[in-house]
Every structure is written in C-alpha cells, then in structure tokens.
Structure 1
C-alpha cells in the first residue's frame, strides 16, 4: 500500500491489512517512519507473527520481522530501500536483494526488478508456488 508523497508499506507472513493505513496515517501526521511502525505494532498483540517494511517519501526506512515468522526470514534496510522475506532458501537472500537494488541503474521499476530477481536463483520458483504432486 502506498500514498504518493507519503510512503509505502508492505505487510507479509501472517499479515494484518490495517497496518498499512495505520502506518501511512501516522506518516501523514508527521511521525517518522520508525515511530509510525512502532505505533502500529504496539497495538498488535500478534505482532510476533508479522513482517512489515515501510519507507517514507524521503527514503527513510523501518522494518520489523517477528519471532514467529515462517522459516528463514528477516529484514534489511538499504540505501532508499528495504527488503523483507520469509520462507527463504538462506539468510543471504535478503542481502542479495538489497545489493542488487542499490547497484542497479535506471528507473525505479528496473531497480526493483533487479532486487527481486537477485532473490530468486535461476530456474527457481517461490516456495509457495511449488505444486504438490
């Protein structure tokens, strides 16, 4: 979820749809991205199951990965970016995504795609897309 000139929020793992509007509302009211994230999570009794990444219009980031997220996961802040993941192949995936975003050139969309591709080895598919036979 995003609001132009304010910021963007992604919530995953066991998500709570109200986190995005809550964080963006706090940003609009003048909170820092870290304050906005902390305010939203303070009210959530299931926060340890959440994974949330936020960035404000100035490129400041904040992220949270609860103790009960699924599988290998975490978050990492970069220069004007933040990556989060769970059910990953290794802890190195998130660092590779941030590095690829930061070193890519071009428009934002191209840099985002570079980051996403770096998190997925050639020929691999996300764990949730794997079909059972």
Structure 2
C-alpha cells in the first residue's frame, strides 16, 4: 500500500509500525505534510489511552501536551493527554496547564510512537524537546506499550 493512501484506522499498531519502518523518510514527510496528516495523528494519539500502562503510573496526576510540528505551512498540532487515577484520557482540546510539554517533528513522532525511534535518542539529538517536570520526562515513555518491530 502506498503510504499516501494510508488509512491508519484500518491498521493495527503492529501493521502501522511495520509500514512506518519500511517507508523512506521523504515519503513519511509527504504523508505528514499532506491531507492525511490529521487522520494519522488523530488515530495514533487516539490509541494512546488503549496502550497506557496504568499499573506503571500509580497515583500519578499529570497533564502532558504533545506539540507535533512540520505541519502544512509550518503548523503545529497540539494534543493534550491527562493522566489521573491510573488512567489516561485525551482532552478534546488543550485547556489545562501541562506538567510536561513534548515538542517533536511529525516524522520523528510517527517513528517514535510506532517503536521505530527511541525517545532518549531523539532527545539527545535535539529532535524531541521537553519542557517541564524532569521526573515525568524520564518516566513518560515507560507508561505506554510501544509496538516492537
């Protein structure tokens, strides 16, 4: 399937991870700056509560904002995740003050959440920027079951 025809809702997490792994960066960039961007991001971020590990979160209470860049015209999409009482939920719109803000380009985000890039490596290369609670920054990737490819 050509990546530009991607319907992420029709792929499970592993299938999406394998497709991302097999797709060259230029094609992923085209996808993430094109008309399918919102569908891809909404689906991928929308799945986060389903792969959240509440047992690892304990009594944590936090609001996390994802700022995903490289949108058409230099745009940024912002998603809000609320972790509370061992659960993870998406907010319809970012309204609360975040405890942690994660800023990343769209291709790197897609690679990271599909298990094709490691968050620590991205942060060390300056591709994932964090602002806020350092302890939460370190623990955040462990709160989700990321596909293994």
Would the TM-score normalized by the shorter structure come out above 0.5?
no
Which structure has the highest helix share of the two? 2
TM-score by length of 1: 0.30
Q: Which has the higher contact order (CA 8 A, sep 6+)?
A: 2
